[in-house]
Chain A
Amino acid sequence: LAKTTQPISMDSYEGQEVNITCSHNNIATNDYITWYQQFPSQGPRFIIQGYKTKVTNEVASLFIPADRKSSTLSLPRVSLSDTAVYYCLVGGDNQGGKLIFGQGTELSVKP
């Protein structure tokens, strides 16, 4: 399973765009990139997944460069409720559904 590296923490203010970058230098050809969000006292929640280029949903956008060795989660106009830990994971179906969580990025949004 590819190892990921992301910042331990980030600070932002309400209304700003937040970009969290994750490095995954040894990503395999069939690996997908997935981001989860975890609020205090709750289990992680799936946010977005992509393979290459850009993916957008109602919560976030995911940018993946051509070499796929990194990815950037973009949260537009964050609010206080976006304060959470964000996990970047890479893996493919040949791992049988297994997810390995790294340390995540603790995002703190201030008023």
Chain B
Amino acid sequence: DAGVIQSPRHEVTEMGQEVTLRCKPISGHDYLFWYRQTMMRGLELLIYFNNNVPIDDSGMPEDRFSAKMPNASFSTLKIQPSEPRDSAVYFCASRGMGQPRTDTQYFGPGTRLTVL
């Protein structure tokens, strides 16, 4: 298996622009998580899905952020409009049905976002 795939790996954009980050979870996994990592705040959970349905979005910072999972093999995290403080590394992770405990989340390589 190729693991969790994220694209793009790096994104540089200007303030006010729309940014879309993409994630392909491991095939067969039914949980998908979006995290954000910065030096100041560490690794934060933004939102997670179970069977394509958003379960907890309490970590989404504000209305400028939105996430969708139209099917089991694809998810997007969108920021519109983007701001410099959104600069961070965004990770996607997935977890499979065979793992009943809160362990073994498989993380993607991350997308490094820079908003100028």
Identify the A interface with B (CB < 8 A): 32, 34, 41-46, 49, 87, 89, 91-93, 95-104
Contacts and interface: CB of A to CB of B under 8 A. Distances in A.
B51 to A, nearest CB: 12
A34 B35 CA distance: 18
Given A97-B50, A97-B95, A99-B45, A34 B110 contact: no
Interface in B68-103: 91, 93, 95, 100-103
A34 B107 CA distance: 15
Closest 6 CB pairs of A and B: A43-B107, A101-B43, A91-B102, A49-B103, A34-B103, A97-B31
A98 B48 contact: yes
A89 B31 CA distance: 18
Nearest to A49: B103
Given A46-B104, A95-B102, 12 more contacts: A34-B102, A43-B4, A43-B93, A43-B107, A43-B110, A44-B105, A89-B102, A96-B50, A97-B48, A98-B56, A99-B45, A101-B35
Nearest to A100: B45
Given A32-B102, A32-B103, A96 B56 contact: yes
Contact of A42 (B42, B55, B56, B109): B109
Contact of A44 (B48, B56, B100, B107): B107
Interface residues of B, number: 26
B102 A92 contact: yes
Given A43-B91, A104-B42, A99 B110 contact: no
Contacts of B42: 101-104
24 contacts: A32-B102, A34-B102, A34-B103, A41-B110, A42-B109, A43-B109, A44-B91, A44-B107, A46-B103, A46-B105, A49-B101, A95-B102, A96-B48, A96-B50, A96-B56, A97-B31, A97-B48, A97-B50, A97-B105, A99-B45, A99-B102, A101-B35, A103-B42, A104-B42
Contacts of A44: 43, 91, 105, 107
B99 to A, nearest CB: 9
Contacts of A102: 42
